[in-house]
Structure 1
Amino acid sequence: MKLFKAALLAAVLTMPMASVATFAATPADVLVVAQNIDDIVSIDPAEAYEFSSGEYVTQTYDRLVQYDAPDVKVLAPGLATEWAADDANKSITFTLRDGVKFSSGNPLRAEDVVYSFKRVVMLNKAPAFILTQLGWTPENIDSMVTADGNKVVVKYDGDFSSAFVLNVLAARPASVVDAVTVQANEKDGDFGNAYLKGASAGTGAFILKAFRPGELINLDANPNYYGGAPAMKSVIIRHVAEAATQQLLLESGDVDMAKNLTPDQISSLAGKDAVKVETYPQAAVHFLSFNQKDEALTNPAIWEAARYLVDYKGMTDSFLKGQMEIHQAFWPKGFPGSLDDTPYSYDVEKAKQILADGGVKTPMTVTLDVINSTPFTDMAQSLQASFAEAGINFEIIPGTGSQVITKYRARTHEGMLLYWGPDFMDPDSNAKAFAFNENNADDNYQSTTTWRNGWAVPAELNEETKAARAEADPAKRNEMYIDLQKKVQADSPIVIMFQAATQVAMDKKVDGYVNGATSDFVFYRLVKKN
């Protein structure tokens, strides 16, 4: 029977998608996932900067410290079993776990960690800024990260707390690679970048068997994984762009999971015996913002009234049901330091009074840039209808994602409907985006919502953001971020409305799947088929 199923699976992977639905169930020790993975540019952990590539990196690599299954809300030991922070001298000393081996069989060494961090800095690919913000440069990296037996000493330069640095080191580009294997495959000084676009060299629970861009990722279980071998012998993530095809494959038993179904499709699965749907809060927050380079939008009364003109419940009870929840602060729910209060609700009369008291003349027209796809266009139409009740008329300007974001970066919009996700799971990642902007000059480009909306953040918020980043006491630090969120929530041109959620449909036999708030926190190693 196992031989038959193996042959069947091979057939599934090579047949056109239209023919797949005629086959039987997947093998008991193989997890097959239908997912849109065409966003992948690179699977090298020093370059991977997309959602799908982040998910892949988590399966095949580990970090010194990491948010790990089953509890992805806790920063836990990874390749380091313990660490000692010296805030005064801005350093952290990590002690490596004994007996860990890479998939090649090579033992984990402190030198591998040093090489891994150095290659991120030297390659300087998209996610490198996450590590280089610690003051690391090509010129000083050899002195900032050093090996000492089974210990790694990490130094940093800046007003950071060790808690902040640990969260940085739990981020994707801090994944540790097998230096011996990667160096053996370097070409023309590329630090093995070309090699790691088609191979894995980590200590993770899975090993890359095959990667075909826009087609599939095939992972084999690592039997020697220090956290215990996965129950699934193989995980196959098949690129299926069409949500309807994903649903068809799931219902026919040809895949075990479908990750990109629409709310309507999710609803249609209700009551079906063989399928279940799990909902996982995500770190992305969705917001409406007003460009402060437009004089007509600088009156704080417009910002305040806007908070009462969003039909939060109407949207989450209808076309956003199950895929977003009401959340009105910049740090996502479910992580230390989050503010989960939702003080604003749809109240047209209150909004009208705020506008009148603030001297805002209505009617007024505001252009609203929006990505031309669901659910963004539906959200824009809801905002258009609800804001019109108070005399603010949105003229919707749809565009592709790249068009909208390019306009946002150029600060040429009026109103903007977009979303934001943290680059790493530390509240400073979002505080810098929503509560900090010391230099609002046009020639001082910053990848933040504050700068892109031309908002010169009050000095008080700037100073509090810097102080929170440097605060060593975790409890006090969290309190500072909650206070920052309350202030931004009450008085800023950025109206945070929702926190995203992802819904994954799966065969009822599947158990143990872990999906955290970002793609970096997706884990297959605990999956079983009961």
Structure 2
Amino acid sequence: MKYLRFAVLASAVALPLTAGADTPDNALVVAQNIDDIVAIDPAQAYEFTSGELVTNLYDRLVQYDADDTDTLAAGLASEWETDAEGKTITFTLRDGASFASGNPVRAEDVVYSLTRVIKLNLTPAFILAQLGWTPENVDQMVTADGNRVTIRYEGEFSPAFVLNVIASRSASILDSELVKQHEVDGDMGNAWLNENSAGSGPFRLDRYQPAQMVRMSANENYFNGAPAIDSVIIRHVAEAATQQLLLEQGDVDMARNLTPDQIASMDSEEIKVETYPQAAVHFLSFNQKTESLTDPALWEAARYLVDYTGMTDSIINGQMEVHQAFWPKGFPGSYDETPFSYDPEKAKQILEDAGVETPITVTLDVINSAPFTDMAQSLQASFADAGINFEILPGTGSQVITKYRERSHQAMLLYWGPDFMDPHSNAKAFAYNSDNSDENYAATTTWRNAWAVPEEMNAETMAALSEADPETRLEMYRDLQQKVQENSPIVIMFQAAYQVAMDEDVTGYVNGATSDFVFYRLVEKN
């Protein structure tokens, strides 16, 4: 494969699409759509690409890592002790760990980082707030003593659940001395951290330009060994066709958003394609603030208006499989029944029997990139068979997600991945909404679609969280998935499988089941 000069990559964002360019041996150059990024401060980052960056820039006390994405392992903590009765976990920090700045990792940094999330109270703060932490009590819930940090939690949780929360991206540990130097008007460094990094992870952030590029360089002091590659450059390339061209010309080493047709057309001996099962589920949802979308008969009919097989056999072939429940297949507690198939006559009968008047015109927000626009067009065609007419509104990832958070959409085509590896993560998002008021913002699909979840389902979701018997707990989550599958304004359709095309010389790239499990530190170019 041909190579692109590093000096050009480092100084330019929009590069000419000319053949004969080189990528340097010591840098991985990636073509990727990164316009979903809203924030990269770990206390605010909540998008898929943001999660990838946070994972490579920061560490947590305990974490899933490139060596084994399925096992929770020691991070900045070398060991920990749990006290289920006392509802505490005490972590001992590893010796010799330092931030990319050179500052040592101290217990004070851990306390600052965890309490900062709660005090800023930005989008992902709810993950840590589940532990009973509030701005008023968090200073007592997270404390330091020498090189030991003790966290306390309120609620009937198993220690395993708490550890998974502490392994989430919002629990990333910051260099408090560096962050404090960049505080402005009491923002605890938030503005600065959305353009810079202050972590101890395998990489440091050299440059970030929204919807243009990201450049990270290796942290030579990384406690788990310096990365094999010196730098990672992620170029924002929204168009899949352009990504393919750049890869085939040798201008990039990896293309992350190719369509199934493009993957199938790859015949170069210098390019390989790797497939990675993903935890993200893709869904169509209806905002209950729109009166015409509130009839449960419409929700039921919608489940028979998705051409599941038609899409998986064509536009998303190899990239998604049919899955109709909120917890991904392959994870403990998943519900894998798929009772719905494309049946427009049945859908029309459901609407007719319920007295739903058609035609209904609905705006459908969608991210303006493959395969989402193709999926939206498929839904537009199949729903029209029953008199439900979608007007597709394409937008950038950040535009669509912002609109979703504002509850200003009508219908939404989007995806969701767990915030941490416990079924409660998705149950809280799809089966719980105890306060549907506009003032009670919640980072869940239920609240964002203004769905007032039935009280008995809310109660079951919280009961599953505290259930002590492991198998009984998983069965409760399966029951919740079946109920959401049968009767909710959220139509879960697919589970993702992620395909990445790359130069044959690239090895060591790790892409786990979620965006938090994308690792570059083992990458080499041979």
CA distance in 1, matches of 2:394, 2:245: 30
Deviation string 1:123-181 (CA, Å, 9 cap, x unpaired) is 33333333233332333222110112222111123344333322221121211122333
Inter-CA distance 110–21: structure 2 relative to 1 (3 Å threshold): same
Contact 1:63 1:176 in 2 (8 A): yes
How far apart are residue 90 of structure 1 and its match?
2.5
**Aligned match of 2:86 in 67, 86, 89?**
89
What is the match of residue 188 of structure 2? Answer: 191
Deviation string 1:36-70 (CA, Å, 9 cap, x unpaired) is 33444443323333333322221121001122213
Map 1:250-265; keep pairs closer than 5 Å. Answer: 250-265=247-262
User: Which stretch shifts more, 190-199 or 506-515?
Assistant: 190-199
What is the match of residue 279 of structure 1? Answer: 275
User: Which stretch shifts more, 228-237 or 260-269?
Assistant: 260-269
Letter in 2 for 1:398: L
Pairwise CA RMSD of aligned residues? 3.2
- Aligned residue for 1:276, secondary structure, equals strand
Are positions 1:398 and 2:393 aligned together? yes
CA distance in 2, matches of 1:15, 1:194: 24
Inter-CA distance 302–138: structure 2 relative to 1 (3 Å threshold): closer
| Greater C-alpha Rg | 1
Contact 1:127 1:173 in 2 (8 A): yes
What is the match of residue 360 of structure 1? Answer: 354
**Aligned match of 1:51 in 27, 37, 48?**
48
CA distance in 1, matches of 2:270, 2:45: 35
Letter in 2 for 1:208: L
Unaligned runs of 5+ in 2: none
CA distance in 2, matches of 1:245, 1:385: 27
What is the match of residue 80 of structure 1? Answer: 77
Are positions 1:226 and 2:220 aligned together? no
TM-score, with length taken from structure 1: 0.86
Contact 1:367 1:414 in 2 (8 A): no
Are positions 1:27 and 2:20 aligned together? no
TM-score, with length taken from structure 2: 0.87
**Aligned match of 2:365 in 357, 364, 371?**
371
What is the match of residue 446 of structure 2? Answer: 450
Contact 2:362 2:388 in 1 (8 A): no
Are positions 1:331 and 2:333 aligned together? no
Contact 2:13 2:235 in 1 (8 A): no
Identical positions, percent: 66
Are positions 1:522 and 2:526 aligned together? no
- How many aligned residue pairs are there? 521
Deviation string 1:304-339 (CA, Å, 9 cap, x unpaired) is 443333220101111122332211101123433322
Inter-CA distance 336–97: structure 2 relative to 1 (3 Å threshold): farther
What is the match of residue 340 of structure 2? Answer: 344
User: Which stretch shifts more, 454-463 or 288-297?
Assistant: 288-297
Letter in 2 for 1:286: H
Letter in 2 for 1:379: M
CA distance in 2, matches of 1:304, 1:207: 48
Are positions 1:208 and 2:205 aligned together? yes
How far apart are residue 395 of structure 1 and its match?
4.3
CA distance in 1, matches of 2:254, 2:270: 12
Are positions 1:508 and 2:504 aligned together? yes
How far apart are residue 418 of structure 1 and its match?
3.6
CA distance in 1, matches of 2:503, 2:402: 40
CA distance in 2, matches of 1:215, 1:306: 37
**Aligned match of 2:152 in 139, 155, 161?**
155
Are positions 1:108 and 2:109 aligned together? no
**Aligned match of 2:115 in 118, 138, 144?**
118
- Aligned residue for 2:69, secondary structure, equals coil
Contact 1:362 1:392 in 2 (8 A): no
- Aligned residue for 2:163, secondary structure, equals helix
